[in-house]
Amino acid sequence: MHRNLALLICLAIPAFAQSPADLMKDPTVRAALDAARRNEPATLDLQARICEIPAPPFHEDQRGLELKRLFEELHLQDVRIDKAGNVIGVRPGKSARPNLVFSAHLDTVFPEGTDVRVTRNGDVMKGPGIGDDCRGLALMLAVIRALDEGHVQTPGTITFVADVGEEGLGDLRGMKQLFFETLKGQIDKFISVDGTGLGITHIGVGSNRYKVTFKGPGGHSYGAFGMANPIQAMGRAIAKIDAFQVPKQPKTTFNVGRVGGGTSVNAIPFEAWMEVDMRSADPNALKEIDTKFHAAIKEAVDEENARWNGRGAVSASAELVGVRPAGQTAKDNPIVQTATAVSRAMQIDEILREGSTDSNVPMNLGIPAITISGGGMGAGAHSLGETFDAKDSWRGTQRALLLAVSLAR
Ligand SMILES: [Zn+2]
């Protein structure tokens, strides 16, 4: 009697109220989870194959075309490539919303001409980009395939995206295109799969990067003595930057990473330059340090010119060479709660962390977003000797699958 009553109550609970642990018992979800595990060897083969298609920064097109073909082969709908080069495919749910975007990045940090062949030794695969982010791409395809094989029908829609421009000077251009143009106003939740392990990134560290150039007429060190000096002006600026006080929480940082300029020991230089990187997970803290930075440059130039009474006046210009917006998805946000519930249901230790990933863009817009890692164990990301240890990597695939099903409602 009681049992029947409990069953009735269970059936009456709408689909969106199901916990990840409940969903694991759903026969279609169970079938998909089984398929994900069974297919893992094929997923690893695919991971190696995708990785052998070069995808240098700003040249992801060849790998993108292969992803487009695979999206079509796996029966996604409305498969297309947007203006930036993002490859998009839709797995419709019972309704169009909520729309969950599930993404992994196409690009690598390796320049054109890099030997991208993958070698394997037991569980360990080796090749540039094998974990970051060939793992994410292969895992995304594995999730699509498993959903298909399990005949899982989600209440909401999942839009899969293989995106461009995640790394370095790519400056998240794929995500900016996706959120500001291609799918503007149509994304309710966002997950990206990036790298290896089983972590969950819910804090998006933003950064502003500048190249600052100081210029003056320059002249002979002895003959023209008495002129303002661009390198000395830059020295003043660096001393001011070095004295910045920054909050520990949220962690906010600055770094003068490279300097250059001048022509000779006996010449007043006509030019000097420096590259500066500032980071924070808090958009306001980042804005604040950015303002201080611009003030420091201006003060340094003014002081240098005043010191030499305006002889051979120095000027400076700061060129923004990189912006990654900051943001975070709070720990008590349902998307983070769901992700930790999924991990718990699968006996995976909860690891919450911060990072700089594709999720920065939605986090900055206040759209619930997290980045999860793709299972297995990686080493040497961004190096030619990058490795991926595939031991138990199916757990990463299953975790991502259950998370996608839990969020697409
Ligand atoms: Zn990555």
Instruction: Round to whole Å and give the CA distance between 54 and 63.
Output: 7
Q: Which amino acid is at 73?
A: E
Helix (H, G, I), strand (E, B) or coil at 329: coil
Residue 363: how many CB atoms within 10 A of its CB? 27
Distance from Cα 131 to the centre of ligand 1, integer Å? 8
Ranges of the chain whose pLDDT falls below 70: 1-17
Whole-number pLDDT of residue 17: 63
Residues with Cβ–ion distance below 5 A, ligand 1:
132-133, 194
End-to-end CA distance of the chain: 31
Instruction: Round to whole Å and give the CA distance between 177 and 135.
Output: 23
Distance from Cα 381 to the centre of ligand 1, integer Å? 8
Q: What is the pLDDT of residues 298-343, one digit of tens each?
A: 999 999 999 999 899 999 999 999 999 999 999 999 999 999 999 9
Instruction: Round to whole Å and give the CA distance between 349 and 268.
Output: 59
Whole-number pLDDT of residue 350: 79
Whole-number pLDDT of residue 127: 97
Whole-number pLDDT of residue 209: 95
Distance from Cα 353 to the centre of ligand 1, integer Å? 15
Check if the beta carbon of residue 210 is closer than 8 Å to that of residue 276. yes
Distance from Cα 84 to the centre of ligand 1, integer Å? 18
Distance from Cα 357 to the centre of ligand 1, integer Å? 7
Distance from Cα 167 to the centre of ligand 1, integer Å? 7
Whole-number pLDDT of residue 109: 93
